[in-house]
Amino acid sequence: MSIDWSSSVDYPIDEVFHWHERAGAFQRLAPPWQPGHIIEEASSLRDGRAVIGLPGGLRWVAQHSDFDPPYRFVDDLVSLPLHWHHVHSFAPEGPNRTRITDSVTTPVPESLLRSMFTYRHVQLRDDLEVLSDLRRLHPTPLSVAVTGSSGLVGTALCAFLTTGGHRVMRLVRRAPQRADERTWDPADPDPRIFEDVDAVVHLAGASIAGRFSEAHKRDIAASRIEPTLRIADSIVRARRPQTFVVASAIGYYGSDRGDELLDEQSGPGAGFLAHVVDGWEAATRPATDAGLRVVTVRTGIALSPGGGLLRLMRPIFLAGLGGRIGRGRQWVSWIDLDDLTDIYSRVLVDETFAGPVNAVAPEPVRNDDLASTLARVLHRPALVPVPRAALDLVLGAEGGREIACASQRVVPGRLQSAGFRFRRPVVESSLRHQLGRLTLGGVGDHT
């Protein structure tokens, strides 16, 4: 069976083809809901191989061939007893418009592939649009060092930056295994690893998920405050970087501010996480005092089935066991993972940003609205509420209050004032894209 998906983008054919050649393109096009992870991207579309890890230890190895830039490349599955022949075609529809067609010959039913290719075409269109906007703000590529590059946000951000032509150096705690990796010690970062970079993005930190024992709370604080202070000192001594972007959190505002609208001018709240975030952001002061541009990205709940809250909720809701948490009236300030990636990219290149930036969608929702929307997207009921007592049992009373039942009605004041364009400002549009529940209407054609 041969199936075609096709859509057009308003960019020249050379630009569209070169985007596919850059490191990170495969990652950007990989549907986040599929049960696989990218082990290796192809080094070349001419004759390289891409490798995806599948459940059960299986591997999907795609061999590239038939390279005809900027019009065509091909990949074939060579690792499993399944026929898969995928032709990627590009055709000019004018000087600034390109038709992209994915032609697949396979016995896999079209119904199982529709959501994947719809996602890919939407993702390509949106990424090209955002990258074009960013180039207008900063035409020249940057060299960016990133900690926490293997996490949910770091993986997405590094892929997006490299497809945009930027140079990314991934800071890892082990010995480097790739040309784009450098070893760093959070307790004593070597300034020499920053001497050839323009900006540093600091994402590393222990997960806050888990029972709020004293040991877990110490890990949360220790993995954020002191390493941020150390890396700020190291950047200053390196002298080259001019921009320091640090992951922060809306936990700064406390676990319950009622219906108060919270923007970047709002003061800190009370509680453990508010105290940690306050100290976390204060640890950037050596860089600020030295004249570097410092941005602290106060992130809400990032929506992606690849990690975080949505990764936990999706299987529960698919089983028909989902529902609101507690009374469900707490505010959830969320952000689509692609919008979060765009925010980090924007503050990297836009020198008008400094200080705290709320990385949240413009429309926070109540917890029961989030639950009912997710259930509707997945075509499941939302009838099984999670009682507060059960959360306290798992997370402890403090963890239940500060994580599961936190209520923060946060708005992205700085981003809105700067005219930032959200890809998915409404929670249902984010869930549909991230979970592969989009319709093909308005995206392209398939036969």
Tens of pLDDT along 220-244? Answer: 999 999 999 999 999 999 999 999 9
pLDDT for res 447: 53
Under the banding of pLDDT at 50, 70 and 90, the label for residue 418 is very high
pLDDT for res 380: 95
Higher-pLDDT residue of 141 and 442 is 141
Q: What average pLDDT does range 20-27 have in this prediction?
A: 97
Burial 258-293 (b: 16+ CB within 10 A, else e): eeeebbbebeebebbbbbbbbebbebbebbbeeebb
pLDDT for res 32: 96
Q: What average pLDDT does range 402-413 have in this prediction?
A: 92
- pLDDT of 392 over the 90 cut: no
The predicted-structure confidence for 74-116, as pLDDT tens digits, reads as follows 999 999 999 999 999 999 999 999 999 999 999 999 988 999 9
Angle between helices 225-238 and 272-282 (to 10 degrees): 10
Domains and CATH numbers, the chain: 2-113 (3.30.530.20), 138-434 (3.40.50.720)
The predicted-structure confidence for 203-223, as pLDDT tens digits, reads as follows 999 888 888 899 999 999 999
The predicted-structure confidence for 53-69, as pLDDT tens digits, reads as follows 999 999 999 999 999 99
- pLDDT of 446 over the 70 cut: no
pLDDT for res 141: 97
- pLDDT of 41 over the 90 cut: yes
- 101 with 28: CB under 8 angstroms? no
- pLDDT of 166 over the 50 cut: yes
The predicted-structure confidence for 273-299, as pLDDT tens digits, reads as follows 999 999 999 999 999 999 999 999 999
Structure tokens at 120: 């890919």
- pLDDT of 309 over the 70 cut: yes
> Given the DSSP bridges, would you call strands 143-147 and 37-40 parallel, antiparallel or unpaired?
unpaired
pLDDT for res 444: 52
pLDDT for res 413: 98
pTM of the model: 0.96
Under the banding of pLDDT at 50, 70 and 90, the label for residue 398 is confident
Q: What average pLDDT does range 30-39 have in this prediction?
A: 94
Chain mean pLDDT for the chain: 94
- 145 with 201: CB under 8 angstroms? yes
Under the banding of pLDDT at 50, 70 and 90, the label for residue 28 is very high
Long-range contacts of 67-73 (CB under 8 A, 24+ apart): 69/17, 69/21, 70/13, 70/14, 70/16, 70/17, 70/18, 71/13, 71/17, 73/20, 73/45, 73/46
Higher-pLDDT residue of 271 and 447 is 271
Q: What average pLDDT does range 372-380 have in this prediction?
A: 96
- pLDDT of 405 over the 90 cut: no
Burial 7-18 (b: 16+ CB within 10 A, else e): bbbebbbeebbe
> Given the DSSP bridges, would you call strands 334-336 and 301-303 parallel, antiparallel or unpaired?
parallel
pLDDT for res 438: 87
How many other C-beta atoms are found inside a 10 Å radius of the C-beta of residue 340?
A: 25
Under the banding of pLDDT at 50, 70 and 90, the label for residue 442 is very low
Residue 60 β-bridge partners: 52
